[in-house]
């Protein structure tokens, strides 16, 4: 898993480790499987004009007020946050609802990581729902890649790492991989979860947390590969479909 003539592929397991990686000129993939980057893939694939990730509920409300045909969304503790209109579930954004609208979305872990990356060439978002599209994009770019797990309040989590492993597994032959995080993520995916991520993820902290809110269906959906084959790419402050 190493050939120095190829671009570099690395995995960052937590935003608290981001400073260890050189993202200059690289493609950075923001990963927040449960559920921000899953919802982003679903909304864009179902016709949203853009998704604008913001850090706070207040910012979400203000931006929602200033953009025509926008929807404000975000949860705190598993419920729609006060002052916002919708939640953080990918199934809330079918085509007939989200088409031609802009989704202003506040999430904690994923948004924070996205705003922490300063000097990358390109920032995209990834989740199982757009796994193959993300992989194809990364291979085509021929640039260094950092897979950035949003984690949970900086703590390592299984779902984001597992997705990073799925990406490493699919594209590793096109990159130089000399990164133990990438090796471990690949191993977890290859030996445990290939083809059945959700069974593996049922024994994870986040699954247990969200299950307490009755969100098992959401997580099953989020663990399904390639239902929304788009590449959300950051242009200014907006995530739009890469074309």
For position 202 contacting a copy of itself by CB under 8 A, the verdict is no
- Cβ proximity to a copy of itself: between 20 and 140 the closer is 20
We find the least distance from the C-beta atom of residue 94 to a copy of itself, in angstroms, to be 31
| Residue 3 contacts a copy of itself per CB under 8 A | no
Which of 154, 229, 238, 242 is close enough to bind a copy of itself by CB under 8 A? Answer: 154
Tokens of 177: 């991989």
- Beta pairing class for 238-241 and 145-149: unpaired
Closer to a copy of itself by Cβ: residue 14 or 39 = 14
Question: How far apart are alpha carbons 12 and 117 in whole angstroms?
Answer: 12
Question: Any contact of residue 212 with a copy of itself (CB under 8 A)?
Answer: no
Q: Please, is 19 exposed, middle or buried when counting C-beta atoms within 10 Å of its C-beta (0-12, 13-18, 19+)?
A: exposed
Name which position in 77, 203, 212, 236 contacts a copy of itself (CB under 8 A). Answer: 203
C-beta of 7 vs 74, nearer to a copy of itself: 7
Range list of β-strands (E), the chain: 9-12, 27-31, 50-54, 70-76, 79-80, 102-106, 122-126, 145-149, 232-235, 238-241
Residue with tokens 């953009």: 67
Residue ranges that bind a copy of itself, judged by CB under 8 A: 1-2, 13-14, 16-17, 20, 152-158, 161, 178-181, 183-184, 187-188, 191-192, 203-206, 208
């Amino acid at each position: 898993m190493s050939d120095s003539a190829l671009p570099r592929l690395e995995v960052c397991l937590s935003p608290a480790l981001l400073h260890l990686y050189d993202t200059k000129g690289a493609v950075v993939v923001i990963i927040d499987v449960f559920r921000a980057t899953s919802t982003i893939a679903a909304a864009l694939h179902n016709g949203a004009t853009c998704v604008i990730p913001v850090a706070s509920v207040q910012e979400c409300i203000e931006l929602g007020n200033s953009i025509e045909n926008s929807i404000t969304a975000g949860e705190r503790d598993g419920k729609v946050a006060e002052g916002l209109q919708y939640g953080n579930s990918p199934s809330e954004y079918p085509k007939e609802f989200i088409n031609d609208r802009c989704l202003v979305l506040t999430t904690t872990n994923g948004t924070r990581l996205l705003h922490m990356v300063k000097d990358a060439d390109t920032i995209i978002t990834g989740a199982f729902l757009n796994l193959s599209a993300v992989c194809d994009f990364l291979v085509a770019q021929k640039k260094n890649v950092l897979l950035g797990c949003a984690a949970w309040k900086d703590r390592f989590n299984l779902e984001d790492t597992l997705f990073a492993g799925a990406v490493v597994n699919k594209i590793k032959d096109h990159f130089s991989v000399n990164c133990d995080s990438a090796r471990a993520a690949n191993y977890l995916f290859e030996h445990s979860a290939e083809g059945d991520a959700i069974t593996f993820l049922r024994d994870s902290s986040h699954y247990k947390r969200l299950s307490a809110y009755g969100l098992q269906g959401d997580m099953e959906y989020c663990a399904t590969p390639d239902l929304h084959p788009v590449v959300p790419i950051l242009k200014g402050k907006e995530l739009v479909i890469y074309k």
